Amino acid sequence: MSREIVVLGAGMVGVSVAWHLVRQGHSVTLVDRREPGRETSFGNAGIIQRESVRPYAFPRDLGTLLRVIPNREVDIRYRPGGMFSAASPLLQYWINSGKSRYAKIVPQYASLIMRCLDTHAPMIEAAGADHLVRRDGWLELYHTRKAFDERITEAHENHDRYGVEFEVLDAAGLYAKEPHLKKGLEGAIHWTQPWTVADPGALVQAYAENFQQQGGRFLKAEVQEVEKSGKGWKVTTDRESLEADQLVVALGPWSDKLLSRQGISLPLFVKRGYHMHYASADENAHLNHWIMDAETGFLLEPMRAGIRLTTGAELAGLDAPPKFKQLKAAERAAGKIYPLGERRDPEAWKGARPCLPDMKPIIGPAPGQDGMWLAIGHGHQGFTLGPVTGLLLSQMMAGETPEVDMAPFSATRF
């Protein structure tokens, strides 16, 4: 039965949900105040992370904590105000990162990650977006033998349990693949399955255009309010009001602003990140792959706009003004492994990963709100997980049994 459905938020998650719903034959309106894929789904590192079966845990070892506390690192920075306002979810995040709880979370998280390529593939094909996607994996670089060996051990476990494919490169193997990296690295893990996207925002835009070609409607408008109306929902925007049988909230890091007005309190917090594009200092130098300096915590991505440098996490409030010291530190560290040239953007991009304390997204019905569905909190891997979220949520909304056990992703767990 065809229904009127409104999807709020046109990031990778909302666009993917809308794409699946329109294919089921529903009349779908996708609403965003910006063009699709212009926020968090624009500025990320653009990796469809098939290797990332373990979500990013709160570091609990003393060595990492002592390293991070002076607040000068590239991988993690914090602002006391941001830590204070998110104290409760951060404490839960810390608790969930303990060994036994984390061990239960990993297979649940992996059940989504393992489907990421299979769910992006039909969307890429339908959208004619193949020119944006590379299928030759990415490289995780190591400076020290000890960290490299530990990661290789974990990679073997991930291979055995979750089918993660990789190749270990010694220094010679690494420099054969990336001859313009500066010498001194110990080696790398080449994750061979992931796909990389040369313009992440353009991929979301292509998916959104394909959604419209299939009969979906995109409305560029600011969502102001949602309220129950008869058996469905009324959505008030600054452009027009919409009536819907069903409503999907996929507003990424802004989701709790709307949900809290509905009396739904979820422990969402953000990990912010920055990016900047660069030329190569040496005009003959180039990168063949996306690379991550795993021990420092930044990535370099050869994108359409130049070499994109993305930072690790900044624990700060969503609306706190940007601070560029973390990016500067990443820039200095990146310059030690690659000849980075001049900056190409007038100012750095800032975004916010929408996070939940048990590292898993919420995908399913909103508690106590008949006809409202949630697709939020995809943290470090929302670009990867948008399409599988769209598939599974559309199956739930159709009353079908989804391919994956969805209990671990229910909002009722909070």
Ligand X SMILES: Cc1cc2nc3c(=O)[nH]c(=O)nc-3n(C[C@H](O)[C@H](O)[C@H](O)COP(=O)(O)OP(=O)(O)OC[C@H]3O[C@@H](n4cnc5c(N)ncnc54)[C@H](O)[C@@H]3O)c2cc1C
268 near 89, Cβ under 8 Å?
A: yes
DSSP output for 323-388: --HHHHHHHHHHHHHS-EEEE-SSS-EEEEEEE-TTS--EEEEPTT-TTEEEEE--GGGHHHHHHH
One of 137, 306, 354, 390 touching ligand X (CB under 6 A)? 354
Nearer to ligand X, 246 or 311 (CB): 311
Q: Does 373 bind ligand X (CB under 6 A)?
A: no
Nearer to ligand X, 155 or 375 (CB): 375
Nearer to ligand X, 12 or 397 (CB): 12
Choose one: 38-46, 85-93, 205-213, 334-342; the region binding ligand X (CB under 6 A): 38-46
Q: Does 124 bind ligand X (CB under 6 A)?
A: no
- Whole-angstrom CA distances from 42 to 47, 199, 332, 406 are 12, 8, 24, 28
Q: Does 223 bind ligand X (CB under 6 A)?
A: yes
Query: In 3D, which of 180, 261, 243, 231 has the Cα closest to residue 27?
Result: 243
DSSP-based three-state secondary structure for 277 = strand
Nearer to ligand X, 160 or 347 (CB): 347
Q: Does 254 bind ligand X (CB under 6 A)?
A: yes
Task: Count CA within 13 A, CB hemisphere, residue 160.
Answer: 5
β-strand pairing of 217-220 with 27-32 = parallel
Q: In the complex, what is the shortest distance from the CB of residue 48 to ligand X, in angstroms, rounded to a whole number?
A: 7
Q: Does 82 bind ligand X (CB under 6 A)?
A: no
Q: Does 194 bind ligand X (CB under 6 A)?
A: no
**Distance between the two ends of the chain, CA-based, in angstroms?**
32
Q: Does 189 bind ligand X (CB under 6 A)?
A: no
Choose one: 28-36, 60-68, 153-161, 163-171; the region binding ligand X (CB under 6 A): 28-36
One of 7, 12, 189, 372 touching ligand X (CB under 6 A)? 12
Task: Count CA within 13 A, CB hemisphere, residue 300.
Answer: 29
The site for ligand X, by CB under 6 A, has a size of: 39
Q: Does 384 bind ligand X (CB under 6 A)?
A: yes
Residues 6+ apart with CB under 8 A from 76: 59, 68, 297, 312, 313, 314, 315
Residues that bind ligand X (CB under 6 A): 9-14, 31-34, 38-41, 44-47, 49, 222-223, 250-254, 273, 275, 310, 351, 353-354, 378-384
